[in-house]
Amino acid sequence: MTIGIFKCGNIGASPVFELLLDELAEREDIKVRTVTTGSKMGVDDVEEALPKLLAFNPNLVILISPNPAIPGPAKARETTLQSGVPSVVVSDSVAKRLKEELEKQGLGYMILMGDPLIGARREFLDPVEMAIFNSNVIKVLATVGVLRILHQEIDRLIAILKEGLPLTLPRLIVDTDTIRDKLDFSNPYAKAKAMAAYELTKKVAEINTRACFIEKDREKYIPLVACAHEIAQLAAKLAEDAREIEKYSDSLARKPHSKKGTPLTKTKLTQSPTSDEETYRNWLKALQP
Amino acid sequence: MTIGIFKCGNIGASPVFELLLDELAEREDIKVRTVTTGSKMGVDDVEEALPKLLAFNPNLVILISPNPAIPGPAKARETTLQSGVPSVVVSDSVAKRLKEELEKQGLGYMILMGDPLIGARREFLDPVEMAIFNSNVIKVLATVGVLRILHQEIDRLIAILKEGLPLTLPRLIVDTDTIRDKLDFSNPYAKAKAMAAYELTKKVAEINTRACFIEKDREKYIPLVACAHEIAQLAAKLAEDAREIEKYSDSLARKPHSKKGTPLTKTKLTQSPTSDEETYRNWLKALQP
Amino acid sequence: MTIGIFKCGNIGASPVFELLLDELAEREDIKVRTVTTGSKMGVDDVEEALPKLLAFNPNLVILISPNPAIPGPAKARETTLQSGVPSVVVSDSVAKRLKEELEKQGLGYMILMGDPLIGARREFLDPVEMAIFNSNVIKVLATVGVLRILHQEIDRLIAILKEGLPLTLPRLIVDTDTIRDKLDFSNPYAKAKAMAAYELTKKVAEINTRACFIEKDREKYIPLVACAHEIAQLAAKLAEDAREIEKYSDSLARKPHSKKGTPLTKTKLTQSPTSDEETYRNWLKALQP
Amino acid sequence: MTIGIFKCGNIGASPVFELLLDELAEREDIKVRTVTTGSKMGVDDVEEALPKLLAFNPNLVILISPNPAIPGPAKARETTLQSGVPSVVVSDSVAKRLKEELEKQGLGYMILMGDPLIGARREFLDPVEMAIFNSNVIKVLATVGVLRILHQEIDRLIAILKEGLPLTLPRLIVDTDTIRDKLDFSNPYAKAKAMAAYELTKKVAEINTRACFIEKDREKYIPLVACAHEIAQLAAKLAEDAREIEKYSDSLARKPHSKKGTPLTKTKLTQSPTSDEETYRNWLKALQP
Amino acid sequence: MTIGIFKCGNIGASPVFELLLDELAEREDIKVRTVTTGSKMGVDDVEEALPKLLAFNPNLVILISPNPAIPGPAKARETTLQSGVPSVVVSDSVAKRLKEELEKQGLGYMILMGDPLIGARREFLDPVEMAIFNSNVIKVLATVGVLRILHQEIDRLIAILKEGLPLTLPRLIVDTDTIRDKLDFSNPYAKAKAMAAYELTKKVAEINTRACFIEKDREKYIPLVACAHEIAQLAAKLAEDAREIEKYSDSLARKPHSKKGTPLTKTKLTQSPTSDEETYRNWLKALQP
Amino acid sequence: MTIGIFKCGNIGASPVFELLLDELAEREDIKVRTVTTGSKMGVDDVEEALPKLLAFNPNLVILISPNPAIPGPAKARETTLQSGVPSVVVSDSVAKRLKEELEKQGLGYMILMGDPLIGARREFLDPVEMAIFNSNVIKVLATVGVLRILHQEIDRLIAILKEGLPLTLPRLIVDTDTIRDKLDFSNPYAKAKAMAAYELTKKVAEINTRACFIEKDREKYIPLVACAHEIAQLAAKLAEDAREIEKYSDSLARKPHSKKGTPLTKTKLTQSPTSDEETYRNWLKALQP
């Protein structure tokens, strides 16, 4: 089975997305193929690049971009719909207002409320600052459980496709409540810190949006983007602190993929992972996530 | 001009690589296209995926993978050579022993001695741990100047191609000495900390190599991968500390791309970037980096 | 001259407010008198307590409370207006929608957008948690310059009253922009961190409001208040980090009161403060702050 | 029932004192009224302000000030004694030598050995530094259990008054031993850190006393007050670390007031507080605390 | 019984070595005598100083020095061999290549792979930097269990000598594996951090060796020694973090000596130590450590 | 010239003392010889061991011990006095009351007020805890300048002896004032933090003295020694923070010895040290330090 990933522009969940599905590079049940247009999101970019992905004949397509309402990503949605391959949009908080349109189009979606816009102002952002920002956001998304939700949803779809069952595409808004309900942390204060870290990335999004689109004066937007990236750094630190607490009680959950692609689970560090039957059964019987 | 990036397996520099060239998504002189095989590195993967990249008719190809000696990446090198497009291999320390072969093949290379192997043991590595590890490595590579070296080398090639001058492909082993010589830090202790952070990622590589390929007993390799990832986390923290020092004296260098793709530079946060003429001139006159 | 302060309920700026005006207890030009109703904000509380404050015959009254729109604080505004003493309302972000009403009433106001509601849920809040929360908020408000703005505005009014000039009461919404413009920090990254700290207290307000007034289910509101207080703790740490940077360059501004109540200023730690003539002149000539 | 609080000058326990008794503003059994003289402690200040407090007809009076031996606070003691209302003096370590006099006068007392004098030197102290210092001291007093002791003693008196039993006023010297015996921490290292934090505030008191009253030369006292406030900052950090440890094992005790004012208790974050019968019974049967 | 310790030059384990055997100064079964040649390691130094140690008629001699292959320490080995007293060499990683020679000579050895060379370059090292470096190394060696291994091996020899049993001298290479197997930590992540700290001191050794013996140019070696000492500082911090985790679960093992010199053991802080019979029995029955 | 060091029992300055005089092991003008009695301080220990030191015919003797008033160290003083070699006592705060006696005896002294007693209780102290405590104390003494004062005083005596001038032995009480006056820090807040760190080690001494000699009940002394060692750990961290600040402005003073033993000095990390003529001249002309 082939999972096709199309990245058009970047969100925090993009850079490591394809690696989430096969973190040990030993999975025998799927192939993952990605095509990207770099940071650009134009209609031309999409028209040139997306067919290359579809040429892999994917069984499932993931479309990742910021703001899926603008023409480039809209074109990408349209093109995959025409191809008939089941598709899931992964995007940031801007996508929330597109929720109904996506449902009408028959696309799945996973909208990450705390995957923040970067501080894209030339006085502040250079390749190094960009990479550090993404590093911080990746750490938050990983630690607070957002990336877990993402890969498990895709894993669920793969499982259903493998079993030949009818597919229900995800319709997820991943907000702080989701973290509260889904995060595998045993300590409630660790969970509170994780929620706090995610709230901070939402705050980053809010400030950067203002700095990038509203403030026109560099005396105003430079301090704002700097301020937002300080919060991103802090959010990563806080997420790390939360995870440390789970280490201190040796209760950190790990959920690797087996070679067959089925979900495994473990907590004690020195133990071996065992098959996560419950999760797998839930995947197969769930009609709507 | 089109820059084609082929990722086959993952190293720390991979996830944000294509974004480095156009961090503001405003560059008008280049298009960036990426095709990846996910975490897999088989010959089949390469044979299926690389042609999709070459179909973009790139003017320059970057091949990123760990260990370029194994069959999959070797096949990728061979295929791009056949295509006649100038190509640069970006890889980790394992690639060092391939140096002469790469030179003979006429490939450029940028070998990152401190881009470490991940702790790929199923008892330890799951998608979340994988993402966090990459987050830490990205922060180190960005902060200590490795990502700066990478994008500037590609930028140099682009500049030469645009000017129609003869191309000298990079032959770079990026070790701690390189950081000492190229990092734009003004404080010598900040530089020492950055060098230390890079030495730590080299140590991570060393420990994970032992844990993944030498130790067969889980009582032995589990503590080792856990130990290596603790060092990765610490390296990211140390790199961050180093960068903070530069903030404290408001001497943090920022080098964004202009819309035309030419290099800009600035230090004081509240200033605007100006054209980095010197760097540009050096690019054009250098015969060998 | 007597400054009367009436506290009815608590905001983060309340606990140390009266001390701001005479931090060394050596000021000869004013007396400060405070009456409070503890944490209660009922109409009865106000009716009983406020006359005790007015009995001091204050030349200026400061009314501090959260949410000045509810009956108790509204009664307090009405009563002081009847007394004819010039009065200034100090309150939190909820007060922003009362702006026009306050202006019509002829009251001055200083509305602190980042003075957050506490996580007032009995499963979480006890006297110790309450005190720690206030400790964190006080540190943020002090460090990022909000308390400086508060005392300087009152000092300005005192100066005008002493000179017998016509009084223009403050109309201030103290938001992150205010910090950017008024904070005496020399390092721009320190300022960015201070702005970030203030944004975090705004986030605390947002989460606690939801946890206290919207969520009805304890499984939902307990994690939220815990999350909000984690952010408050982090905001205090970030504010402290910002101030440390100013220490590192020995550029921390200090602005004590002289015995006569006039503003002094200094930066280098080992120097003595000197008269801040410029600030004083600006106070006297400003018609509208 | 009315609790009257008179603050004359400031100690670390003052700013949030009245809030401790009714942290949720929902208590139906008491009213709290506070009158303060700001930072001033003169006889005139007391003579003018204290009658305003007594005019509330309090059932219990708390007199909070530094150094209760000097004329202003002495006058306050005398005046409340004349009023016949049961009264408790809350003060700092200087008050220890007044112990016998207070007992003779029939006043209760709670003397906080680790509530330190501030670094009241004009070259160093301004309103912002003052507020930050108080923030740090409040965090220590809260975290290490001093504020718990304070509010429970007052709660005990209220309970006895409500039951119409004979009142035994507190005679407490709150030193590090008290913390060892009364702090609700389950981890012995957390307790050791809390004791250490309290010892540090005692050290702050010692250094500031020397800096404020003994050293006459600014070259000498400026470094000393700066040194003392660094220790205060560190003490707050250490207290926070201690509390974090209790969070890590989800054993943090919380003791809110019920609406009726009776003591509640809980530890696990997600649980609801239950009635603390044992504490309440002990309050009623204790003849001498 | 007299334990004679000869220090010739310094390694990280040297400064507190003799104190390890009798940390409470209450042990009645042994006397410890040390003679050192300061930082010097010449043959003359040894020839003058070692006889003074042998004049104490020690029952056991410990020879501590870096690099025991060079003439001074070689002379020390030769001289103690001639004296007939059982002797153990304690040294750093350079000694590993001397392993067979030491065995042939009939000397015991404990070779500490993570006891790093100092950054002995006059542009960098002064007495203060030297002391801080040793402080950091001592903290790592203590925390990760290396000093435990050292004193228990000597304690074992003392026990055997006291029982009149045949002596088997230690032949230990103390590397990261040793820590994994011998460290008394209950938390596996704490152990991973401890292993990481020890790996960092090995890295320090590697960098300082290059900086001291290979790089000739001060532009090259100054950054390297600074970098190595930054890592040493970080290693100490990491070791401390590891130990803190054990505190958080109150599982920190303590193994004091009884007055009779027998091993005691305890974990819970508030408990008393009890006799460690198992360790003692193992000592007596072990033929080869 | 031979410098003889006799250590009898341990203080924080002992473990690295002899290394301070020749940190690079390249000094050609002196030999350093040390004899110690381990942690024991009995008269017998001294009578057996001190003659071995005097047998080196030292030109100067340093006697280091805690509490020099008790019989063992007193015997050591007496014996060195009889030998006629100029001698300097280095000791902890307990020695302050012996000041006059030392002066009468014609001994020099350097009394370190912040070199604290260890928490010598068997329930708490084991070899590992002992080593960590010493690590922390060494870091404080080094960083705040105490070790600088120690080695420069000995260096001064050596210089005078080499020049054949009359010797004035040091009479130093090294308290926080000394640090304020002698520490080579350029940033006043760094200096304040260093002073604070030293005040903390004084606090450690105070608490451990109580825990070791006054409290008899293990429920009382165990928390106290744990508390004291937490403060020691914090003091080391604070000292490190202070030194970091000097790194941030690249103003960290380094004062290595030249091969000839003369004092060198430097600040900028990348510079070479130069001869510290001024210090040397001061040494020769000072009659009394």
pLDDT in tens, B110-154: 999 999 999 999 999 999 999 999 999 999 999 999 999 999 999
CA atoms within 13 A of residue A73's CA, in its CB half-sphere: 26
pLDDT exceeds cutoff 50 at A287: yes
Percent helix, strand, coil in chain C, to 5, is 50, 15, 35
Q: How far apart, in whole angstroms, are the C-alpha atoms of residue A18 and residue B10? A: 10
A188 contacts in chain D (CB < 8 Å): 250, 268-270
E256 vs F126: CB contact, 8 Å cut-off? yes
A269 vs E245: CB contact, 8 Å cut-off? no
Q: How far apart, in whole angstroms, are the C-alpha atoms of residue E7 and residue F17? A: 13
Q: What is the pLDDT of residues F231-257, one digit of tens each?
A: 999 999 999 999 999 999 999 999 999
CA atoms within 13 A of residue E215's CA, in its CB half-sphere: 20
C187 vs B270: CB contact, 8 Å cut-off? no
CA dihedral D34, D37, D40, D44 (to 10 degrees): -130
pLDDT exceeds cutoff 50 at C289: no
Question: Looking at chain D, which residue has its C-alpha nearest residue E245?
Answer: D245
CA atoms within 13 A of residue B70's CA, in its CB half-sphere: 16
B270 vs C188: CB contact, 8 Å cut-off? yes
E247 contacts in chain D (CB < 8 Å): 187, 189, 245
E-F CB pairs within 8 A amount to 262
Sign of the torsion formed by the C-alpha atoms of D231, D235, D238 and D244 = negative
- Test mutation, B230, B238, B245, chain E, max E CBs within 10 A: B230
Helix (H) or strand (E) holding A220: helix A218-248
Do chain C and A touch: 3 or more Cβ pairs under 8 angstroms? Answer: yes
- Test mutation, D189, D193, D251, chain E, max E CBs within 10 A: D189
The pLDDT of residue B286: 66
The token pair at A12 is 């925090």
Going by DSSP bridges, is the β-strand pair E87-92/E108-112 parallel, antiparallel, or unpaired? parallel
- Residues whose CB falls within 8 Å of the CB of residue C85, separated by 6 or more in sequence, listed in order: C4, C54, C58, C59, C60, C61
pLDDT exceeds cutoff 60 at C287: no
Instruction: Report the candidate in C3, C28, C4 with the shortest Cα–Cα distance to residue C257.
Output: C28
Q: What is the pLDDT of residues D178-234, one digit of tens each?
A: 999 999 999 999 999 999 999 999 999 999 999 999 999 999 999 999 999 999 999
The pLDDT of residue E286: 66
Q: What is the pLDDT of residues E100-136, one digit of tens each?
A: 999 999 999 999 999 999 999 999 999 999 999 999 9
Residue F36 φ then ψ, to 5°:
-130, 160
To the nearest whole number, what is the mean pLDDT of chain E? 97
The pLDDT of residue F71: 97
Look at the pTM and tell me if it is higher than 0.90: yes
Contacting chains of E (3 CB pairs or more, <8 Å) are A, B, D, F
The pLDDT of residue E289: 44
Q: How far apart, in whole angstroms, are the C-alpha atoms of residue A212 and residue A220? A: 11
F248 vs B187: CB contact, 8 Å cut-off? yes
Do chain C and E touch: 3 or more Cβ pairs under 8 angstroms? Answer: no
Question: Looking at chain F, which residue has its C-alpha nearest residue B189?
Answer: F247
Query: Angle formed by the axes of helices C146-163 and C127-143, to 10°?
Result: 70
Instruction: Report the candidate in D58, D64, D26 with the shortest Cα–Cα distance to residue D256.
Output: D26
DSSP label at residue E2: E
Q: Which residue has the tokens 């010449």?
A: E42
D-F CB pairs within 8 A amount to 68
Helix (H) or strand (E) holding E71: helix E71-83
F189 vs C269: CB contact, 8 Å cut-off? yes
Residue D249 touches partner A, C-beta closer than 8 Å: yes
Q: What is the pLDDT of residues F121-138, one digit of tens each?
A: 999 999 999 999 999 999
Do the beta carbons of residue E242 and residue E143 sit within 8 Å? yes
* A53-82 residues touching B, CB cutoff 8 A: 53, 55-56
Question: Angle at Cα F97 formed by Cα F96 and Cα F98, nearest 5°?
Answer: 90
pLDDT exceeds cutoff 70 at D155: yes
Measured between CB atoms, which of B191, B223, B226 is closest to E223? B191
Question: Looking at chain C, which residue has its C-alpha nearest residue B250?
Answer: C187
Helices assigned H by DSSP within A117-145: 127-143
The pLDDT of residue B285: 82
Measured from the Cβ of residue C82, the count of other Cβ atoms closer than 10 Å reads 9
- Residues whose CB falls within 8 Å of the CB of residue C245, separated by 6 or more in sequence, listed in order: B247, B248, C185, C187, C189, C190, C193
The pLDDT of residue A286: 66
Question: Looking at chain D, which residue has its C-alpha nearest residue C128?
Answer: D142
Q: What is the 3-state secondary structure (H, E, C) of A179-195?
A: HHHHCCCCCHHHHHHHH
- Test mutation, B195, B198, B240, chain E, max E CBs within 10 A: B195
Residue A249 touches partner E, C-beta closer than 8 Å: yes
Going by DSSP bridges, is the β-strand pair C264-265/C274-275 parallel, antiparallel, or unpaired? antiparallel
Q: What is the pLDDT of residues A210-231, one digit of tens each?
A: 999 999 999 999 999 999 999 9
F126 vs E15: CB contact, 8 Å cut-off? no
Q: pLDDT band at residue F103, thresholds of 50, 70 and 90?
A: very high
Instruction: Report the candidate in B126, B129, B133, B84 with the shortest Cα–Cα distance to residue B105.
Output: B84
C187 contacts in chain B (CB < 8 Å): 247-248, 250
CA dihedral E178, E184, E188, E193 (to 10 degrees): -70
Do the beta carbons of residue A195 and residue A176 sit within 8 Å? yes
Across E8-35, average pLDDT: 98
What residue type is A231 in one-letter code?
A: I
Do the beta carbons of residue E110 and residue E153 sit within 8 Å? yes
A257 contacts in chain B (CB < 8 Å): 126-127
Q: How far apart, in whole angstroms, are the C-alpha atoms of residue C110 and residue A286? A: 53
Measured between CB atoms, which of F188, F245, F249 is closest to C269? F188
Q: pLDDT band at residue F288, thresholds of 50, 70 and 90?
A: very low
A-D CB pairs within 8 A amount to 18
Measured from the Cβ of residue D211, the count of other Cβ atoms closer than 10 Å reads 23
- Test mutation, A245, A246, A247, chain D, max D CBs within 10 A: A245
- Test mutation, B140, B227, B241, chain E, max E CBs within 10 A: B227
The pLDDT of residue E287: 53
Helices assigned H by DSSP within chain D: 17-20, 43-54, 71-83, 99-105, 127-143, 146-163, 176-182, 188-209, 218-248, 277-285
Do the beta carbons of residue F281 and residue C281 sit within 8 Å? no
The token pair at A138 is 């990746």
Q: Where are the beta strands (DSSP E) in F8-156?
A: 31-36, 60-64, 87-92, 108-112
pLDDT exceeds cutoff 70 at D286: no
The token pair at B189 is 């202790």
Do the beta carbons of residue D270 and residue C222 sit within 8 Å? yes
Residue F99 touches partner D, C-beta closer than 8 Å: no
- Test mutation, B1, B6, B14, B16, chain A, max A CBs within 10 A: B16
Q: pLDDT band at residue E207, thresholds of 50, 70 and 90?
A: very high
Q: pLDDT band at residue F289, thresholds of 50, 70 and 90?
A: very low
* A229-248 residues touching C, CB cutoff 8 A: 229-231, 234, 238
Specify the 3-state DSSP secondary structure of B172.
Answer: strand
CA atoms within 13 A of residue C282's CA, in its CB half-sphere: 9
Do chain B and D touch: 3 or more Cβ pairs under 8 angstroms? Answer: no
A142 vs B148: CB contact, 8 Å cut-off? no
The token pair at F242 is 């202070």
F255 vs E10: CB contact, 8 Å cut-off? no
Sign of the torsion formed by the C-alpha atoms of B55, B56, B60 and B62 = negative
The pLDDT of residue E285: 82
CA atoms within 13 A of residue E197's CA, in its CB half-sphere: 31
pLDDT exceeds cutoff 50 at D289: no
Q: How far apart, in whole angstroms, are the C-alpha atoms of residue E174 and residue E180? A: 10
Q: What is the pLDDT of residues D249-284, one digit of tens each?
A: 999 999 999 999 999 999 999 999 999 999 999 998
Q: What is the pLDDT of residues E223-236, one digit of tens each?
A: 999 999 999 999 99
Residues in chain F: 289
CA dihedral A184, A185, A191, A195 (to 10 degrees): -30
pLDDT exceeds cutoff 80 at A103: yes
Helix (H) or strand (E) holding B274: strand B274-275
| DSSP string for residues in A84-115 | T--EEEEEEGGGGGGHHHHHHHT-EEEEETT-
To the nearest whole number, what is the mean pLDDT of chain C? 97
Q: Which residue has the tokens 């660094």?
A: D230
The pLDDT of residue D287: 53
pLDDT exceeds cutoff 80 at F101: yes
A189 contacts in chain D (CB < 8 Å): 247-248, 250, 252, 269
Residue D41 touches partner C, C-beta closer than 8 Å: yes
Strand partners, B34: A36, B5
Q: How far apart, in whole angstroms, are the C-alpha atoms of residue D141 and residue E58? A: 55
Measured from the Cβ of residue B45, the count of other Cβ atoms closer than 10 Å reads 22
A252 contacts in chain E (CB < 8 Å): 189
D22 vs C9: CB contact, 8 Å cut-off? no
Instruction: Report the candidate in A251, A28, A278, A60 with the shortest Cα–Cα distance to residue A151.
Output: A60
Q: What is the pLDDT of residues D107-151, one digit of tens each?
A: 999 999 999 999 999 999 999 999 999 999 999 999 999 999 999
Q: How far apart, in whole angstroms, are the C-alpha atoms of residue B21 and residue C63? A: 56
Residue A256 touches partner B, C-beta closer than 8 Å: yes
Residue A286 touches partner B, C-beta closer than 8 Å: no
Residue B275 touches partner C, C-beta closer than 8 Å: no
- Residues whose CB falls within 8 Å of the CB of residue C122, separated by 6 or more in sequence, listed in order: D24, D26, D256, D264, D272, D273
How far is CA A104 from each of CA A74, A93, F267, rounded to the nearest angstrom? 14, 19, 69
Q: What is the pLDDT of residues A135-190, one digit of tens each?
A: 999 999 999 999 999 999 999 999 999 999 999 999 999 999 999 999 999 999 99
The pLDDT of residue F285: 82
pLDDT exceeds cutoff 70 at F263: yes
Q: Which residue has the tokens 């002064």?
A: E126
Residue B123 touches partner A, C-beta closer than 8 Å: yes
Which residues of chain B are modeled with pLDDT < 50? 288-289
Going by DSSP bridges, is the β-strand pair D60-64/D31-36 parallel, antiparallel, or unpaired? unpaired
D200 vs F176: CB contact, 8 Å cut-off? no
Measured between CB atoms, which of C199, C227, C238 is closest to A195? C227
| DSSP string for residues in E149-168 | HHHHHHHHHHHHHHHTPPP-
Instruction: Report the candidate in B52, B112, B109 with the shortest Cα–Cα distance to residue B86.
Output: B109
Contacting chains of F (3 CB pairs or more, <8 Å) are B, C, D, E
What residue type is E177 in one-letter code?
A: D
Do the beta carbons of residue C286 and residue C156 sit within 8 Å? yes
A189 vs D247: CB contact, 8 Å cut-off? yes
Residues in chain D: 289
